Amino acid sequence: MKILAVNGSPRGRRGNTERIVQPFLKGAQEAGAETETVYLKDREIKHCQGCFTCWTKTPGVCIHQDDMPALLEKVRQADVIVFATPLYIYTVSGLMKDFMDRLLPMAQPYILQRGDHFIHPPRYPREEGESVKFVLISNAGFPERCHFSALEETFRRLAASPETDLAGTICCAAGELLGQEAMRDQLTWYLDAAQQAGREVVEQGQISTVTQAILDRPLADDPAVYANVTNAYWESLGVEKLGFGEAGLEAQGTEVAAYGTPLPPPSSRDSMRNLVAGMALTLNPREASDLEAVVQFKVTGDEPGDYFLDIAQGRCKAYEGEHPDPTLTIHTPSDVWMAISNGEMNGAAAMMTGKYSIQGNLGLLMRFDKLFSAPQAN
Ligand SMILES: Cc1cc2nc3c(=O)[nH]c(=O)nc-3n(C[C@H](O)[C@H](O)[C@H](O)COP(=O)(O)O)c2cc1C
């Protein structure tokens, strides 16, 4: 089985879309498929002129002389085509749209009724009973999955012919988190599911309902927390806020803490600041549904500082500063807490031997493993 992945991100190999495509293809390879990725940003693909010459004077051949004829040949040879695109204004990227428009020579101009709909029949029909499978892979900056509705409908329509099947859609909301180095360990559940999806498309012809359900989960469990963290990031870059009025940027349902400044999203796991910011994103809302607490970090050593986590209603926000009434205070040198977080030091043993100390609610500390863990699939 040949799988052609077409990546329409202008960021190409460095993009968030690619972070889903590669595990998907790895899974497909493990199941025996031959795979190839084409990066549209590296190809010359001119806009379709709408002249229909490829349907009339030179059937199957476009007026443009660019990289598209070679790509059409790859499309013809493929059993599965992965359309991989970032979500741009609720749909595919411009690169992907040009590619899709230029697939026109693959169809005939006539329209035929197939089932309930009219379609353009393919110019190069597959063998009797064979179909080409499409997979959509996308990711978006917004944290809710509903943003993909128009994109998914496009691909449902594109695959609505007897010779094409939509084998599954991987639409990752809050996909910007995929690019955060510090989030890598927390997001393995999603990338593992993408790999499993690749295997399933090869072995079963489609993504299973269980895997699909996992892949339909946004990366951030709480859109309001994600919004606040994202906004803190733009603020940290000094981007001016215009026209937000008194309410500011704070997402609904959360309160501005008067005692600290929100931490921007982590760029890596190599500093205490980033580590605390990362903890806020990994709160497991199910574990924290009953919890209202403030965890204060009083950090000494190489990277001294005061940070706190404000946990309420299944949400967690990270701040730099000192809270007047923390539920639990952790006094720790930065290297000790980082070693514990990276699994290089046992947390309980470190406390027993005085490497760090706490004040307040010990029971809360003992819940940390469950509270700050990647979300589990339902
Ligand atoms: C021009 C443009 C339009 C975008 N439109 C949307 C959008 O409609 N909805 C959304 O959630 N994110 C939108 N985004 C954010 C991208 O989907 C997001 O940055 C994504 O992670 C990029 O993936 P990539 O790194 O593979 O290119 C847009 C980004 C750009 C540059």
**Nearest residue CA, atom 15 of ligand 1?**
141
* Predicted pLDDT of residue 375: 53
183 within some domain: yes
228 within some domain: no
| 186 shares its domain with 94 | yes
Atom of ligand 1 nearest to the CA of 89: 8
pTM: 0.75
**Domain endpoint, select from 157, 190, 215:** 215
Produce one character per residue of 135-167: b if its CB has 16 or more CB atoms within 10 Å, e if not. Answer: bbbbbbebbebebbeebeebbeeebebebbbbb
CATH code of the domain covering residue 94:
3.40.50.360
| 190 shares its domain with 277 | no
48 within some domain: yes
Query: What is the block-wise mean pLDDT of the chain (378 residues), using blocks of 10 residues?
Result: 98 97 98 98 98 98 98 97 98 98 97 88 88 96 95 95 92 93 85 97 96 90 80 83 66 57 76 88 81 96 94 86 93 95 90 94 92 60
| 204 shares its domain with 270 | no
| 135 shares its domain with 265 | no
**Nearest residue CA, atom 4 of ligand 1?**
88
181 within some domain: yes
Helix (H/G/I), strand (E/B), else coil: 234: helix
Calpha distance 256→247 (Å, rounded): 10
**Domain endpoint, select from 168, 191, 215:** 215
**CA of 58 relative to ligand 1 center, distance in Å:** 37
Atom of ligand 1 nearest to the CA of 7: 26
Atom of ligand 1 nearest to the CA of 14: 25
| 157 shares its domain with 276 | no
96 within some domain: yes
* Predicted pLDDT of residue 304: 95
**CA of 176 relative to ligand 1 center, distance in Å:** 8
Atom of ligand 1 nearest to the CA of 10: 27
**Nearest residue CA, atom 28 of ligand 1?**
88
| 36 shares its domain with 93 | yes
| 198 shares its domain with 282 | no
C-beta of residue 52 within 8 angstroms of C-beta of residue 110: no
Calpha distance 174→143 (Å, rounded): 4
**Nearest residue CA, atom 5 of ligand 1?**
88
**CA of 158 relative to ligand 1 center, distance in Å:** 22
| C-beta atoms surrounding 365 within 10 Å | 17
Max distance between CA atoms of the chain, in angstroms, equals 83
**CA of 184 relative to ligand 1 center, distance in Å:** 20
Atom of ligand 1 nearest to the CA of 17: 26
| 295 shares its domain with 196 | no
**CA of 85 relative to ligand 1 center, distance in Å:** 9
| C-beta atoms surrounding 2 within 10 Å | 13
Atom of ligand 1 nearest to the CA of 18: 26
For a substitution probing ligand 1, which of 89, 95, 190 has the most ligand atoms within 8 Å of its CB? 89
Our count of domains for the chain comes to 2
Q: Between β-strands 2-7 and 80-86, what pairing exists: parallel, antiparallel or unpaired?
A: parallel
- Residue ranges lining ligand 1, Cβ < 6 Å: 9, 11, 15-17, 86-90, 139-142, 147, 175-176
| 29 shares its domain with 114 | yes
Residue 276: which domain range?
A: 250-371
Write phi, then psi, for 357 (nearest 5 degrees): -135, 165
| 198 shares its domain with 273 | no
201 within some domain: yes
**Domain endpoint, select from 215, 241, 262:** 215
The residue type found at 240 is: E
**Nearest residue CA, atom 19 of ligand 1?**
141
* Predicted pLDDT of residue 374: 53
| 211 shares its domain with 260 | no
CATH code of the domain covering residue 350:
3.30.1050.10
Calpha distance 93→243 (Å, rounded): 29
229 within some domain: no
* Those residues with Cβ within 8 angstroms of residue 6's Cβ, 6 or more apart along the chain or in another chain: 37, 38, 40, 71, 81, 82, 83, 84, 96, 99
For a substitution probing ligand 1, which of 24, 83, 85, 88 has the most ligand atoms within 8 Å of its CB? 88
* Predicted pLDDT of residue 162: 79
Atom of ligand 1 nearest to the CA of 90: 8
238 within some domain: no
| 121 shares its domain with 206 | yes
